[in-house]
Structure formats: structure tokens, C-alpha cells
Amino acid sequence: MIVGRSAFAEPFALFGYDTADYDALFAEKLGLLLDIRAAQAVTWSGRFRPPLEAAAVVPRAVQDRLPVWVGVGGSPGSAERAGRLGLPMVLGYIGGSLAHLWPLVDAYRAAGEQAGHVGALKVAISTHFHAGADPATARAVYPYYHEYLRPKRPGGRGFVVSQAAFDTGTSRQGAIMIGSAGEITDKLADAVKTLGLDRVFAQVDWGGLPSGLVEESIARYATDIAPALRAA
């Protein structure tokens, strides 16, 4: 389970919350989630919801401790919180460069080590992914990528990604993991070396990509990219 503070404001109004409580809401709800994870019956009180008295939350997770990762955008405070709690951290990597992520990883590890969680600290990236047969074929998915991120209504949330921005993002130094299997292997190897990654969350099905392209991309990850990364 990946938990985060939300990149968008719309859910706050939908559930009747004030965006001024953005961080306090997340801190309280994350604390409650960890209490639920730790015990079958939870007694709890907080600011944003009614208290719980010996509440049973069932069914329980199959894993003996449900894996909870903290999703972090660009906030050093969020990275430090994940470290203090000894929770693995997932960095959203859809723009910028690896150099922009390093200070977050540094803050995370420093906070975790200070809190005594050295052995529990793990770092991952979550990134838009597509492995094509060759560089040109892979980048031919640009119309789907544009459709995926564009605002769907006037004034709505989203991003308009130009062809030029897409080309920059898919270059060796860019954040978008779209390219041939060899190109993506090189970019992920750079990320592992720079950040000391433990995991990659590859977002593979987006923008209405045809199912055949999605399946081929997953297959290339399994047969070409992952083995090369493990060997390195």
C-alpha cells in the first residue's frame, strides 16, 4: 500500500476536509493506519474523525505486517517523516532529474538513521513506463501520453505535455521511462546508482494504450530489463 498526502485538491472538498489541514490530516490518518496494521483491535482518538474503542478491522492482511510505503512528491518534510517512522519511501519521478531527488533521499535516510530505523529504510521510484521494440517505436506512444496527462475539462487538473517536453523527458537524463529496453535499462541503472534504489514501480497502462502494447512492454521489462539490472 502506497500512502501520500495527495497531489490534487479535489478530494478534500469531496470528503469535507479543509486544505489548510493538508499535512495534519495525513499525519493523523497515517498514524491510525499504522495502529490498525499493528493490532487486531484498535482504541484511538484524534482530531478529524470519531474515536475508536476496541474496533476490529477485518479481514486482516495476508502479510504479517501489511507493507506500507510512503509516497513523496517533492517535500523534504514528507521524506523526513517517512524516515522517522521507518517506512519505505516511494518518490514520484515523472519530471526533473535524478539530482532533484537526491536531497529527498538524503533527508529520508538521515531522519531514519537518527530514529534508529537503518535496517528498515528502502527507497523506490514510481515512474511512467513503456518499453518499445526500438527507440522510435517506443516514442510513437506520445499521443497516448499527451492524452493521459492533459486536463479533461476547462480549468481541470492535468498537464499539457508538448512534443518537445516529451522528447526531453525520454532522453537519458529525463525522468520519463519510455524508450527501447536498452535505453530504459541504462536510465534505471543510473537511478539505482544515484539513489540506491530497492524497487521500481513502473506505471505501464495509461492514456488508453492498446492492450497489446502494454503486454509487450511488460514482457520486455521481464525478459530484458529486469535481468540486466539484476546482473549489474
Q: Are residues 125 and 175 in the same domain?
A: yes
- So what's the pLDDT on residue 136? 98
Which of 22, 41, 63 delimits the end of a domain? 63
The answer to whether residue 7 scores a pLDDT higher than 90 is no
Q: Are residues 58 and 136 in the same domain?
A: no
The CB density around residue 165, as the number of other CB atoms within 10 Å, is: 15
Phi/psi class of residue 155: alpha, beta or left (left: φ > 0; alpha: ψ in -120 to 50)? left
C-alpha–C-alpha distance, residues 187 and 177, integer Å = 7
Number of domains present in the structure of the chain:
2
Q: What is the mean pLDDT of residues 62-90?
A: 95
Q: Are residues 48 and 123 in the same domain?
A: no
Q: Are residues 156 and 201 in the same domain?
A: yes
CA 208 to chain centre: 20
54: DSSP letter? E
Q: What is the CATH number of the domain that holds 104?
A: 3.20.20.30
Read off the pLDDT band of 54 (50, 70, 90): very high
- So what's the pLDDT on residue 183? 98
What is the domain extent for residue 225?
Answer: 68-231
Q: Are residues 74 and 101 in the same domain?
A: yes
pTM of the model: 0.92
C-alpha–C-alpha distance, residues 149 and 207, integer Å = 8
C-alpha–C-alpha distance, residues 209 and 220, integer Å = 16
Q: Are residues 150 and 164 in the same domain?
A: yes
Q: Are residues 51 and 78 in the same domain?
A: no
Which of 63, 83, 117 delimits the end of a domain? 63
- So what's the pLDDT on residue 141? 98
Q: Are residues 159 and 59 in the same domain?
A: no
Q: Are residues 35 and 72 in the same domain?
A: no
- So what's the pLDDT on residue 139? 98
CA count, 13 A, side-chain hemisphere, 134 = 2
Read off the pLDDT band of 9 (50, 70, 90): confident
Express each pLDDT in 100-147 by its tens digit. Answer: 999 999 999 999 999 999 889 999 999 999 999 999 999 999 999 999
Residue found by looking up cell 518499445 in the block: 132
Query: Do the Cβ atoms of 127 and 200 come closer than 8 Å?
Result: yes
- So what's the pLDDT on residue 35? 96
Which of 63, 78, 113 delimits the end of a domain? 63
Cα separation of the two ends of the chain: 28
The CB density around residue 130, as the number of other CB atoms within 10 Å, is: 30
In the structure grid, which three cell numbers stand for residue 45, read together? 482518538
- So what's the pLDDT on residue 11? 85
The answer to whether residue 68 scores a pLDDT higher than 90 is yes
Q: Are residues 33 and 128 in the same domain?
A: no
Q: What is the mean pLDDT of residues 62-80?
A: 94
Q: What is the DSSP string of 65-127?
A: S---EEEESS-HHHHHHHHHHT--EEEE-SSS-HHHHHHHHHHHHHHHHHTT-GGG--EEEEE
Q: Which residue, 93, 86, 96, is CA-closest to 65?
A: 86
Express each pLDDT in 138-197 by its tens digit. Answer: 999 999 999 999 998 887 888 899 999 999 999 999 999 999 999 999 999 999 999 999
Express each pLDDT in 12-34 by its tens digit. Answer: 988 899 999 999 999 999 999 99
CA count, 13 A, side-chain hemisphere, 129 = 24
